[in-house]
Structure 1
Amino acid sequence: MPEAGIRPRGRLDPTVGKARKLVAGLLGLTTTGRRHPVDNPPLVLVGCSGGPDSLALAAVTAFFATRGEIRAGAIVVDHQMQPGSAEVAQRTAAQLRRLGLDPVQLRTVDLHDGGDGPEAAARAARFAALDAAARELGAETVLLGHTLDDQAESVLLGLARGSGTRSLAGMRERRGVYCRPFLALRRDETLAICEALGLEPWHDPANLDDAYLRVRVRHHVLPFLAAELGPGIVESLARSAAILGPDADYLDELAGAEYARIAEASTPAGSAEPAEIRLGENDLAALAPALRMRVLALAAVALGGVQPSQERLLAAAALLDRKGSAGPVQMAGKVSAYRISRSQAVPHEGAAYGKLVLRRSAGVP
């Protein structure tokens, strides 16, 4: 009986082969020949929950470590959201070590719900743990096991929220150290990989809990749409994300350049973050609406806020159309926007004349 993850010599399972090509393509590796050892191979970490998607990704990544092209490790995050989560995390870490991944770190996190719900809190804690592990271990890349089905669900949720281009573009294949090689792979294919390689995935009971919106989309909304619109709905939603992704990246790049050009930050002595950002009203008004909204959002986030809603961004932009001084408009994350008219004679605020001013509330760290 072969060890888990070690397939007897013979014909390569086609789904495993497909997955290897996806990982190789994203990381610039090879799948042919016996071995391709390199000097000082880079460390690639896999964020692994023990579920079919991330476990299949870990096993496929371990293959390239045996060829000497990379070092493959893993991070298992215990969110402590369910009874027995510590045992699940330990079993997952043990299975990853049997696959040959090294190092394998297990990190336990505490969730802090900022009002956006337990899923958002878990995501924030998970990425904080992955960021810390990548820094400490010197990893060049962290792989995440999101699939084409996850991408379709994200796009549909973005549509339901009335989100913009960035949200409808879904998850990026590559962002910073994070890579998602399985965005072209269906969820049932990761199950097939686990079966082909003799893996024992953990099936999260939360994925069957209709209390979560994403679970309802997965088990009710998407099957209904597939029945009514055709079985290709998942692929179509993911394809929309692939089309919108480059558009969103380009607009974000242009907005970043405009923000750097027109933003004037005021940072108090001894503080690492600005307390106020001024944006020239003529500069803002001259921007295309798509860039104007993004520049306003960048200013809010730079002040320690969160991404404002479209309604808040429109309200802040509307201050430019008023005569005289106007505001405040409350943005997300305790950030307020004001318009300081050129005609307002307030000597000590002269630097703000003719500008839209975003300020962080006093006492907000």
Structure 2
Amino acid sequence: MSSRDFASPARRRLHPAVGRARNAVKAALAEAGWPSRVLVGCSGGPDSLALAAAVAHFARRGSVAGHPLEAGAVVVDHGLQEGSGEIARTTAATLAELGLSPVRVVAVEVQQVGEGPEAAARNARLAALEAEAQSWGAGAVLLGHTLDDQAEQVLLGLARGSGTRSLGGMRSVRGLYLRPFLGLRRAETVDVCFAEGLEPWFDPTNEDPRFMRSRVRVGVMPFLESELGPGVAEGLARTAAILGQDADYLDAEALRVYESLAERLPAEVGPPAAQVGPTILLPGEEVRALPGALRSRVLALAVVELGGQPTFERLAAVERLLERRGSAGPIEVPGHVSVRRQPRRKDAVPGAEYGKLVFVSHR
């Protein structure tokens, strides 16, 4: 990878793709509240290298839109391919030449236990980025996901039968992470690299049919474009934008309702047979009366608060407890959480409260 001499004044006309990339970075920083210190996660591929170039443009000036800016970069070496260390070091040298500082190469060990290789690599990468951000005091980590990545995400979510949150795709600003390029096509990032005199690395696993996302990228998306005409990727990205807004509203409303209904009980310590972990109670009648879109979210919030992983099937089983027919549970949810319905006591006086949902952690 090489880059032109950025110390020399640029006399030629700005490439349109470079302008769009810089404007996208500026917009994302503004949405995030203008963090003064950021890190770019860069693999050396065209997407993240184009992002690094756009961020470095502002970092060399020391500010963006009048707001101070320091920018460094992190190259995560997953160690999954031969020569990955050399690729990481070459990428780091290019990033330093762009003017980013500090630039760190972080080697990670990908633990492929209980999840696919793509998810395991992503988790290891994000953990490394978050650790570096905390160490340097960065207020944001910028990632190079593009509109094409967003479209693939939505398509995979549809195939898996995912809900609104998953189909809402990635957000341009979410917590620590900024994704400025969700409105740019992948081809535009290649144009940025060419215009900036950069030589990106093209990861061969992006076309490896062993990985589902690669099959979508290489086979499914081109097929849809050829059969349905151009604009499929943009349409899927618009779907993500629309559903993302819906999901944000429903999630916020569900949290408000959940906080008004949840009754939290501490763990009960005693003999092993009598020990009970942290418990959350939800009133059955009130929860059952909620619209379905809120009801499932409220139930999921209780599971997640106790460290569980709500799945569609298990949440459906929990919802059936609200019908007060059949078994009162317990329903076992992944993550060592059980849910049962309080039964009516035989000696209860008429009108006595019963039927609460009892969520218990067994960690």
Q: What TM-score, normalized by structure 2, do the two folds share?
A: 0.89
1:76 and 2:75 matched: yes
Equivalent position SS for 1:305: coil
CA distance in 2: counterparts of 1:52 and 1:239, whole angstroms: 23
Question: How big is the shift at 1:332?
Answer: 2.4
Residue in structure 2 matched with residue 320 of structure 1 by the alignment: 322
1:275 and 2:278 matched: yes
> 5 Å matches for 1:1-365?
2-3=4-5, 8-28=10-30, 42-69=36-63, 70-268=69-267, 275-306=278-309, 308-323=310-325, 326-343=328-345, 353-361=354-362, 365=363
CA distance in 1: counterparts of 2:7 and 2:161, whole angstroms: 43
- Unaligned regions of 5+ residues in structure 2, if any? 64-68, 270-276
Contact 2:35 2:140 in 1 (8 A): no
CA distance in 1: counterparts of 2:198 and 2:243, whole angstroms: 35
Residue in structure 2 matched with residue 36 of structure 1 by the alignment: none
Which AA in structure 2 matches 1:303? L
Per the alignment, do residues 221 and 67 of structure 1 end up closer, same or farther by CA in structure 2, a change over 3 Å counting?
same
- Unaligned regions of 5+ residues in structure 1, if any? 30-39, 347-351
Contact 1:52 1:190 in 2 (8 A): yes
Q: How big is each residue's C-alpha offset from its partner over 1:146-192, in whole Å with a ceiling of 9 and x where there is no partner?
A: 00000000000000001110011100111012111100100011011
CA distance in 1: counterparts of 2:314 and 2:35, whole angstroms: 47
CA distance in 1: counterparts of 2:339 and 2:97, whole angstroms: 55
CA distance in 2: counterparts of 1:353 and 1:7, whole angstroms: 75
Question: How big is the shift at 1:12?
Answer: 0.6
CA distance in 2: counterparts of 1:186 and 1:209, whole angstroms: 21
Q: How big is each residue's C-alpha offset from its partner over 1:59-93, in whole Å with a ceiling of 9 and x where there is no partner?
A: 11000112221111111111222222222211111
Which AA in structure 1 matches 2:161? G
Per the alignment, do residues 267 and 79 of structure 1 end up closer, same or farther by CA in structure 2, a change over 3 Å counting?
farther
Residue in structure 2 matched with residue 33 of structure 1 by the alignment: none
Per the alignment, do residues 172 and 131 of structure 1 end up closer, same or farther by CA in structure 2, a change over 3 Å counting?
same
Between 297-306 and 206-215, the greater mean CA deviation after superposition: 297-306
Q: What TM-score, normalized by structure 1, do the two folds share?
A: 0.88
Contact 2:267 2:279 in 1 (8 A): no
Which AA in structure 2 matches 1:2? R
Per the alignment, do residues 16 and 336 of structure 1 end up closer, same or farther by CA in structure 2, a change over 3 Å counting?
same
Contact 1:7 1:197 in 2 (8 A): no
Contact 2:35 2:139 in 1 (8 A): no
Q: Higher relative CO (CA 8 A, sep ≥ 6), structure 1 or 2?
A: 2
Question: Percent identity, aligned pairs only?
Answer: 57
CA distance in 2: counterparts of 1:331 and 1:6, whole angstroms: 61
Equivalent position SS for 2:308: coil
CA distance in 1: counterparts of 2:142 and 2:346, whole angstroms: 54
Q: How big is each residue's C-alpha offset from its partner over 1:238-281, in whole Å with a ceiling of 9 and x where there is no partner?
A: 011111111100000011111211122333379xxx63222111
RMSD after superposition: 2.4
Residue in structure 1 matched with residue 273 of structure 2 by the alignment: none
Contact 1:325 1:340 in 2 (8 A): no
CA distance in 2: counterparts of 1:328 and 1:80, whole angstroms: 44
Count of residue pairs the alignment pairs up: 344
